[in-house]
Structure 1
Amino acid sequence: MTRKKIFVILAPFLLMAGCRNQNSEEKYDKPIPVITCSPVTLSIAQDIRASGNAEGFRIVKIGFMVAGRINYISAGEGDRVSTTKPVASLDPASYEIAKELAGIQLDQTQDEYDRLKIMHDNKSLSESDFSKISFGLQQAKAQFRLHSRNLDETKLFSPINGVVVKKLAEVGEITGVGIPVMVVSDINKIKINVFVPETEIFDVRIGQTAEVFISSLDKTVEGRVIETGAYADPASRAFSVRIEIENPGLIIRPGMIAEVKIHTGKKKEITTLPVEALLRDLNGVSYVFAVDTIKMKAFRKDIITGEISNDQAEVISGIEMNDIIVKGGSQKLVDGSSVSFYK
């Protein structure tokens, strides 16, 4: 009697629990409406993309042709310099004295030459003696020109108009012959130096156009290929390629990072999907959901993507052309979810 009472009491609760489980299963198995699409093959320009750095079109290291103590430097790093104004100078005192002594020696030799020439013209001086004074005069003149030049060399001029990219000396330092004092770069034009893989280098030709994006300036400029490397870097197996661009306003500076797209003039076919079809998991792996139209279930497919253009993403691998890909409603899906086509 007691067991019958217990069963009677528990029966409604067991019935309710069974209904809840049934409702949960029905809810779980309820198809999720999705919007689908198919992969599309597009023919696009076969451009070569690479990253690189900006550098001056011409870079020179400048230093004095004579030794001495630096007493003046007109420009620091980032300052503009020209060919008409000195950028640095040495203490000229010693060279001024040397020139003065050479001038005195020249005047003395010239006077002696003039006197002996009169005697030579009057046949009172032998050819041998006159030759000695003639050579002495030439030597005195050469010495004067040398010391005059040395004095001029105490002022340092830049051979190009440009910007100081590196200052290598300070006022008061003793410098030697040919030791660089600063590095000057001509940035009226800029060269972008990039490296192209050996598999693509044969598609690069001198004169090809290129798009150069300077990220720090958020600016894209047109350029052209002016150099292609003759040998590959031993480590990367990539070839150096240089692109020339104009630099109005001198806003592009050496060292800026540039993204380059070289136009090869060729076409290639790629498989694409709408960007809204692409998903990414916590590990950074890209994937999509493909619908099995027989089972009406969505299954995850990991993919490798390429370039994105006009809301279309290149899919390098992971899908087939006959796949039905979910592009709407995929946020609610898990691997194996039941789906229905949205109407």
Structure 2
Amino acid sequence: MDARNPLEQDEAFAASTHRRRPPLLLIVLVLLVAAGGLALAVSDRARESASGIAAALFGSSKPDAGIEAEKAGAVERVFRPTKEQRAAFEILPVATQVFRPEGSAEGRIALNDDDNVPVVSPYAGRVTKVLARAGDDVKAGDVLLTLEATDMVQAQNDYQAALNNLQKQQALLKLDQTIAARQQELFQAHAVALKDYQSAQNDVIAAQSDLKTAEAALDAVRNRLRLLGKTDAEIAAYEKNGRLSPETQIRAPIAGTIVQRKVGTGQFLSASSDPVFVIGDLSTVWLVANVRESEIPKIRIGQEVEAKVAGFGARVFKARVNYMAASLDPATRRLAVRSEVDNPDRVLRPEMFATYTIITGKGEPSPSVPLAAIVYEGDRTHVWVARQDGAVEARDIKLGVINGDNAQVVDGLHAGEQIVTRGALFIDRAATGDKAS
């Protein structure tokens, strides 16, 4: 038996129990670590389960239908299209094309002012008839309009007076010549004095001078009638019967096309009025290009010009620069550059809108890609190049001159390489993960 009293026995039991039981803090820590491990295990299983569900719903993102990231220095984008996707693309080899340095401008078709004649009425009067319309082709001498000229009546009166004076001087000369002949006979017969004979001769000389003056006056009035539109036949008929129509005619000075008409029947014209017609020879027209300031240093006289006009499709009208304006238009800040082009079939009309390409240098052959194949990304450009394994890869290129629908490649691509020419933008959006596309 234990000789210790009961109190001592309880204290000894408690001490032995305390030595055998681990500390409470250590137990709590062990429990927390175990709980954390269980949570991580459950999280991993949940993540794997979610990934499996997403793969089942949206399909696998394996390389045969998506994008690979391959490291070879810089990151290179590669796209592996499916057969269905490939059917929507167009892959063609890179061609070689001669690219010409060029400038572009907009402008218009204009009349050739060297063959453009305004028709002005040289006298005042009321228009009685208009015989030509805008767009009509006329020959030199064709009647354009008739009018009652206010100067016609005065010209007729002056002509009649000059004609009467001429006839009078002719009669006086004939009379003086008869008298002089008679005086000569009498003088030879010693029947008259010398002074009488000389006086008769002087009268003949004076009459001849007066006749020449009368003829000159008649010619002057005849020219006035011609200016009023009367022909020599009409003037000759007037001399015979004394009748002359008060109407006068304005005729075409050159052959060409009526490009403007600014007159109507009943209108009163003054001698200082604006042109009533403008006749132009449309067999040649001017191409007037309005060149931007940045393009001016490249433009020279003699450079080739190609013009396209809306309505004629891809038809190109070719000419050469023959004039550059001395100063810019202050309103548009552009320089007028002109060239002359043949227009034998008259298809080009004044004031048509046109776009111009001015060849500013000599071309050289280079790799050529369609503009539709180029993808712009900030200040970089790239195309999608087909690989032998069926994938396409993005390759940066450096562009040069753009001619029409094709661009010159100065670096990054060689002739003969296969590139995507249709569908490049779709591939690019897929490669960059643009889900909106």
Give the TM-score of the pair, scaled to structure 1. Answer: 0.70
Q: Are the equivalent residues in 2 in contact too, given 1:289–1:330 (CA < 8 A)? A: no
**Structure 1 residues 219 and 254, CA gap change in structure 2 (3 angstroms):** farther
Asked if 1:155 corresponds to 2:155, the answer is no
Could you tell me which residue of structure 1 aligns to residue 190 of structure 2? none
| In structure 1, C-alpha distance between the alignment counterparts of 2:287 and 2:258, rounded to whole Å | 19
1:253-264 aligned at under 5 Å gives the runs 253-262=349-358
Q: Are the equivalent residues in 1 in contact too, given 2:284–2:341 (CA < 8 A)? A: yes
Question: Over alpha carbons, which structure has the higher Rg?
Answer: 2
Q: Which has the higher contact order (CA 8 A, sep 6+)?
A: 1
Asked if 1:166 corresponds to 2:263, the answer is no
CA shift, 1:89, in A, is 1.5
Aligned-residue sequence identity (percent) comes to 16
Asked if 1:198 corresponds to 2:198, the answer is no
Could you tell me which residue of structure 1 aligns to residue 319 of structure 2? 224
Q: Are the equivalent residues in 2 in contact too, given 1:280–1:287 (CA < 8 A)? A: yes
| In structure 2, C-alpha distance between the alignment counterparts of 1:53 and 1:42, rounded to whole Å | 30
**Structure 1: runs of 5 or more not aligned:** 1-6, 339-343
Could you tell me which residue of structure 1 aligns to residue 363 of structure 2? 267
Deviations 1:84-136 (A, max 9, x none): 311111125x5553344223312331233134324554234658964883475
Asked if 1:55 corresponds to 2:110, the answer is yes
Pick the aligned partner of 2:167 from 111, 116, 128.
Answer: 111
User: Which structure is higher in helix share?
Assistant: 2
1:183-194 aligned at under 5 Å gives the runs 183-194=278-289
1:23-62 aligned at under 5 Å gives the runs 27=61, 30-31=66-67, 32-33=79-80, 43-57=98-112, 58-62=115-119
The one-letter amino acid of 1:244's match is V
The one-letter amino acid of 1:55's match is A
Q: Are the equivalent residues in 2 in contact too, given 1:83–1:159 (CA < 8 A)? A: yes
RMSD: 4.7
Could you tell me which residue of structure 2 aligns to residue 17 of structure 1? 50
| In structure 2, C-alpha distance between the alignment counterparts of 1:288 and 1:200, rounded to whole Å | 29
Q: Are the equivalent residues in 1 in contact too, given 2:100–2:401 (CA < 8 A)? A: no
**Structure 2: runs of 5 or more not aligned:** 1-38, 68-78, 181-198, 231-247, 386-391
Q: Are the equivalent residues in 1 in contact too, given 2:100–2:364 (CA < 8 A)? A: yes
User: Which structure is higher in strand share?
Assistant: 1
| In structure 1, C-alpha distance between the alignment counterparts of 2:99 and 2:44, rounded to whole Å | 69
| In structure 2, C-alpha distance between the alignment counterparts of 1:163 and 1:108, rounded to whole Å | 44
Could you tell me which residue of structure 1 aligns to residue 276 of structure 2? 181
The one-letter amino acid of 1:258's match is A
1:244-259 aligned at under 5 Å gives the runs 244-248=341-345, 250-259=346-355
Q: Are the equivalent residues in 1 in contact too, given 2:397–2:413 (CA < 8 A)? A: no
1:314-329 aligned at under 5 Å gives the runs 314=408, 321=412, 327=420
The one-letter amino acid of 1:240's match is V
Q: Are the equivalent residues in 2 in contact too, given 1:85–1:157 (CA < 8 A)? A: yes
Q: Size of the alignment, in residue pairs? A: 318
Could you tell me which residue of structure 1 aligns to residue 184 of structure 2? none
Pick the aligned partner of 1:145 from 222, 225, 231.
Answer: 222
**Structure 1 residues 219 and 314, CA gap change in structure 2 (3 angstroms):** closer
The one-letter amino acid of 1:73's match is V
Deviations 1:235-254 (A, max 9, x none): 43535221322322x23221
Pick the aligned partner of 2:309 from 211, 214, 217.
Answer: 214
Could you tell me which residue of structure 1 aligns to residue 134 of structure 2? 77
CA shift, 1:213, in A, is 2.9
Deviations 1:14-53 (A, max 9, x none): 7632423577796288423169999988642335544332
CA shift, 1:321, in A, is 2.7
| In structure 2, C-alpha distance between the alignment counterparts of 1:321 and 1:14, rounded to whole Å | 44
CA shift, 1:182, in A, is 1.6
Q: Are the equivalent residues in 1 in contact too, given 2:94–2:419 (CA < 8 A)? A: no
Which range moved further: 326-335 or 83-92? 326-335
Which range moved further: 57-66 or 167-176? 57-66
| In structure 1, C-alpha distance between the alignment counterparts of 2:215 and 2:310, rounded to whole Å | 63
Could you tell me which residue of structure 1 aligns to residue 20 of structure 2? none
| In structure 2, C-alpha distance between the alignment counterparts of 1:286 and 1:173, rounded to whole Å | 67
- Give the match's secondary structure for 2:282: strand
Deviations 1:154-198 (A, max 9, x none): 311122222222211211011111421122221122222224432
Deviations 1:177-225 (A, max 9, x none): 14211222211222222244322223x41xx654443332336355432
| In structure 2, C-alpha distance between the alignment counterparts of 1:301 and 1:321, rounded to whole Å | 5
Which range moved further: 161-170 or 324-333? 324-333
| In structure 2, C-alpha distance between the alignment counterparts of 1:38 and 1:127, rounded to whole Å | 104
